[in-house]
Structure 1
Amino acid sequence: MKKTITSIICGAVTISLLAGCGTDKPNTTATSTAAASAKPVTIKFHAYGSEAQQNWSKIIDGFQTKNPNIKVDLINLSEKGDTQEYAKKLDLSAASGEDMDVMMFSEAGMYAQRVALGMVAPLDEYISKEGYKESEEYKVDTQLNGKYYALPGKFNPWYVMLNTDHLKEAGLEVPKDWTWTEFQDYAKKLTKGDGPTKRYGTYFHGPQGGGWLEFMRLALANQPDNSDYLKADGTSNLDSPLFRKSVEMRYQMEKVDKSSTPYTDMISQKLNYRPQFFNQSASMIVIGSWMNSEIGGTEQFPLNFKAAVAPFPKNNASDPSGYSMVTTDFYAVSAKAKHPQEAYQFIRYLTTDGILVQGKYVPSWSKVKNDQLGQIVDTILKGTKNPEKVDRDSLITVLTNARASKLVPPATYQADVYKALNEEYEKLILDKQNLDAMIKNSQDRTQKIIDAAKK
């Protein structure tokens, strides 16, 4: 049977990250609509991430101050911010009939899958009533099947975090524009020592368990178009030479250069990118700029060295700079919400004034002024333990010049593709097959999944 959401259309992220936090006037939409709510209600907000990571109390307090008749009850399904744990618990909560009004999704695939399952209510009526266009109001177009089911929160391009003490020791500068070949060279020069105390040039946090598949398409991701495993029409993109380059680079760095943390260590020791970087076990990590709020160190992971940021590497020196994967949070109203109007008011606040109050992320909200990016960065860094140890100028430069690759519509069979690719990569990196076999098997398995979805 043909699956029901093969016609998903996700709008492209077309605007470069040139965001700031100055606004002509506060967003008063949620306040004015909430004023009409005479009867006090409580909405259930299912989310993930600790208070230190997300500042949930600041957002909720700010909203409740403007909307005294609406109480927000935070249901935190993963204090540590594990999105896979969150997704499993969210689905269990929905299946058990638990009350939920607002939910969040960490990426487009998670969002599209829950829309397909009927868990999420369309927002078009609210948006139309309020009188704005989502594609103009926000930098991420969240449209699926011609309807809007979520509003986007943060706007996080990927970049490279660097230990500048290690760079100085190796006689290296903070890169302002570089290629993957140069990244590999840096990793080799930054690798030091042997055995259990060995310091690696870099650490890659995936793929693992069918997730973190970004780390298998690093060379693909720096393209303006066709930057994912599947194309916009749902066909395979694995014949791209950049897919092969991505995998070959990972193999070269781990097996030949020995400049990246072994995959077996990541899996067996359950390693995470935060301790690997902050404990100085790796000098560089490629990661999303959600780390802006942690780069200056936290209680759990203090910054005991100087750090900087470099742009996502390019394939060739002549390629346009700044393209990378971009992540956002999708905030949605449950299809079974008891208070859908109030739930919409909350996500509208959360994705506008609320994200500024949160002080953790650069917003997707397009009404934020470009020339105030420095203020946003300063606000974010002030929330860390040692902002003075962060190269502020490098961070602002990277964020200013970041550009989003065109967002590819998530397919219903995407999780199956991810699982297959992860399995084939493991066979390669564990020396159970060579690169040619890995590429061919990945292509064949992906095509079978695509063909099965069409039946």
Structure 2
Amino acid sequence: MVLLFLATMLLTVLCAQMVLSETVKLTMAHWMFPRSAAYKEGIEEAIASFRAKYPNVEIELLVPGTSNDPFIQGIKTWYVAGNSPDIIGVDAVKMQSFWPDGILLDLNPFIEKDPSFRFNMIYPWTWEGMVFNGKRYGVPREVYHRELFLNNDLFAEGGVSIPSNDWTWNEFVDYARKLTRDTDGDATPDIWGWQSAYTNLYFLHAWGGSFYIDNGRKVGLLMPEAIEAFEQLLALEREMRVAPTAAQEKAAGGTTAMTQNSKIAIFHADIYSIPSNTYSFDYTLRLFPIAKQRAVSSFVNGFGISSASKHPELAWAFLSHLLSADVLYETFVKRDYVSPFHDVNSRGIFPSSNDKIRQQIMFGLNATTVNEHGELVIGPMENATMVRNELNTTIREGKEPVRQVMERLMPVLQANLDEFRSSYFVNP
């Protein structure tokens, strides 16, 4: 028996050596390759260092599409034709399209057998939207994090001090009122305390609400907490008049132009506007104010391995290399990206920024309570799109009150959710 075991082990080693003695080609698909030179260069640098260890492995970069639908359809077409990439870029939307069709492998077995994978260094919330029925169909690689940007110049001009991260909703409203000013005497504000923001739904959590409740089985938008969240946000524009209306935004060239031209004192933005030097003024970052609880939003992109890959172990070996601390820092974080690993980010994110900004971002990443995409992927993405559209049109224009709109939408939203769960989940 011992001889048989040793012979089997020797055969396994010889087979492995035989595979790597010949050229092995892996393919890797991501929508960012043509959209960001820095992103692609980082991947290519990681491939080069991987090939130093595995010289007989080639990795080809593929792009089936640069936006959601073309990328998803391209991957599915290749998969059906038997030409699936070995490694596939994923986010919550794409994950929702891939894993139910069996396109992605469960990565738990690879992670469990890989002692170099620093599981305890990953922000726990980054797994939301990548784990279904206990199976990990992707590993996170890049983090997208949102905070409030406070225009320091407008705060100084208004004689208002910078708040702490523990500011409450009432304090935020008071700040917004003090910062809203009419500078030319025409009885209409020229400087606004707050932007009108209805596209990001994580603010529901600040009032204790959630898009989905009962372990994802029900739409939660008729709960009192959700209705209050929508009404409070809307009141900033309507009753308190500390945020511009849609017509005022349009006349000023849109929200982006208003923030860049120092017309809005407090606004919501992704941290990737920092290294791109989007704003010419000094600013301070702060978390969303506490209403009934803390709500801090982030989301992630990552990679999965195709179930049709002929070399899944080798594909994981590359992903493990890509996510190793040194490689991730040198090829990714140094290029002004933020990783899902605390230890890598601690080396210094956004090198061109200053210590206060970096410290605030690190604080926000550790304080994140909502993986916005991870929560929304519990149900069909068209539900979130439908609600955002109603918020930006019917509700914002005052055509219907919030509760009436949600009551009208609820049958459709719940039917969509029920169909989604019955199709995708083992225990709907």
Same fold (TM over 0.5): yes
Q: Does residue 405 of structure 2 align to residue 438 of structure 1?
A: yes
CA contact (8 A) 1:160 1:287 kept: yes
CA contact (8 A) 1:202 1:285 kept: yes
Using the TM superposition, give the Cα deviation of residue 183 of structure 1 relative to its aligned residue in structure 2, in angstroms.
Answer: 2.6
Question: Could you say which structure has the greater relative contact order, defined with CA pairs below 8 angstroms and 6 or more residues apart?
Answer: 1
Q: Does residue 332 of structure 2 align to residue 349 of structure 1?
A: no
Q: Does residue 390 of structure 2 align to residue 424 of structure 1?
A: yes
**Superposition map of 1:190-209 within 5 A:** 190-192=179-181, 198-204=190-196, 206-207=198-199
* Amino acid in the other structure paired with 2:90: F
Q: Secondary structure at the match of 2:89?
A: strand
* Amino acid in the other structure paired with 1:311: L
For 1:115 and 1:217, the matched residues in 2 are separated by 25
Picking from 283, 286, 303, the partner of 1:307 is 283
Using the TM superposition, give the Cα deviation of residue 260 of structure 1 relative to its aligned residue in structure 2, in angstroms.
Answer: 2.7
* Amino acid in the other structure paired with 2:176: A
Cα deviation code 1:343-388 (max 9, x no counterpart): 323332333334322113443236x27xx73x423xx142xxxx35
Match of 2:28 in 1: 44
Match of 2:152 in 1: 164
Q: Secondary structure at the match of 1:376?
A: coil
Cα deviation code 1:305-340 (max 9, x no counterpart): 111101121104xx4x5x422312231123344553
Match of 2:367 in 1: 402
Match of 1:332 in 2: 304
Q: Does residue 127 of structure 2 align to residue 151 of structure 1?
A: no
* Amino acid in the other structure paired with 1:314: I
Q: Secondary structure at the match of 2:150?
A: strand
For 1:392 and 1:149, the matched residues in 2 are separated by 33
Q: Secondary structure at the match of 2:113?
A: helix
For 1:203 and 1:35, the matched residues in 2 are separated by 61
Equivalent pairs, count: 385
CA contact (8 A) 1:64 1:72 kept: no
Q: Does residue 230 of structure 2 align to residue 256 of structure 1?
A: no
* Amino acid in the other structure paired with 1:187: A
Match of 1:127 in 2: 111
Q: Secondary structure at the match of 2:211?
A: coil
* Amino acid in the other structure paired with 1:404: T
For 2:387 and 2:260, the matched residues in 1 are separated by 30
Structure 2: any 5+ residue segments left out of the alignment?
1-15, 423-428
Picking from 98, 101, 104, the partner of 2:89 is 104
For 1:40 and 1:185, the matched residues in 2 are separated by 63
Q: 1:394 to 1:178 in 2, by over 3 A?
A: farther
Picking from 67, 79, 87, the partner of 2:68 is 87
* Amino acid in the other structure paired with 1:47: W
What is the TM-score normalised by the length of structure 2? Answer: 0.74
CA contact (8 A) 2:85 2:306 kept: yes
Q: Secondary structure at the match of 1:185?
A: helix
Using the TM superposition, give the Cα deviation of residue 281 of structure 1 relative to its aligned residue in structure 2, in angstroms.
Answer: 4.2
Match of 1:15 in 2: none
For 2:46 and 2:273, the matched residues in 1 are separated by 23
Using the TM superposition, give the Cα deviation of residue 127 of structure 1 relative to its aligned residue in structure 2, in angstroms.
Answer: 2.3
Q: Which has the higher mean CA deviation after the structures are superposed, 134-143 or 252-261?
A: 134-143
Match of 2:12 in 1: none
CA contact (8 A) 2:169 2:289 kept: yes
* Amino acid in the other structure paired with 2:138: A
Using the TM superposition, give the Cα deviation of residue 439 of structure 1 relative to its aligned residue in structure 2, in angstroms.
Answer: 3.4
What is the TM-score normalised by the length of structure 1? Answer: 0.70
Match of 1:82 in 2: none
Q: Secondary structure at the match of 2:339?
A: coil
Q: Secondary structure at the match of 1:329?
A: strand
For 2:17 and 2:155, the matched residues in 1 are separated by 52
CA contact (8 A) 1:227 1:405 kept: no
CA contact (8 A) 2:150 2:265 kept: yes
Q: Secondary structure at the match of 1:115?
A: helix
* Amino acid in the other structure paired with 1:237: G
Q: 1:236 to 1:308 in 2, by over 3 A?
A: same
Using the TM superposition, give the Cα deviation of residue 35 of structure 1 relative to its aligned residue in structure 2, in angstroms.
Answer: 12
Q: Does residue 203 of structure 2 align to residue 218 of structure 1?
A: yes
Q: 1:232 to 1:268 in 2, by over 3 A?
A: farther
Match of 1:234 in 2: 217
For 2:174 and 2:152, the matched residues in 1 are separated by 16
Q: Does residue 238 of structure 2 align to residue 283 of structure 1?
A: no
Using the TM superposition, give the Cα deviation of residue 77 of structure 1 relative to its aligned residue in structure 2, in angstroms.
Answer: 6.9
Q: Secondary structure at the match of 1:67?
A: helix
Q: Secondary structure at the match of 1:446?
A: helix
Using the TM superposition, give the Cα deviation of residue 271 of structure 1 relative to its aligned residue in structure 2, in angstroms.
Answer: 5.1
For 1:99 and 1:454, the matched residues in 2 are separated by 26
CA contact (8 A) 1:202 1:259 kept: yes
CA contact (8 A) 1:156 1:328 kept: yes
Q: 1:103 to 1:406 in 2, by over 3 A?
A: closer
Q: 1:254 to 1:58 in 2, by over 3 A?
A: same
Match of 2:46 in 1: 62
For 1:304 and 1:411, the matched residues in 2 are separated by 36
Q: Which has the higher mean CA deviation after the structures are superposed, 63-72 or 408-417?
A: 408-417
Picking from 185, 188, 211, the partner of 2:177 is 188
Specify which structure has the higher proportion of helix.
2
Q: Among the aligned pairs, what percent are the same residue?
A: 16
Name the larger-Rg structure: 2
Match of 1:14 in 2: none
For 1:218 and 1:443, the matched residues in 2 are separated by 19
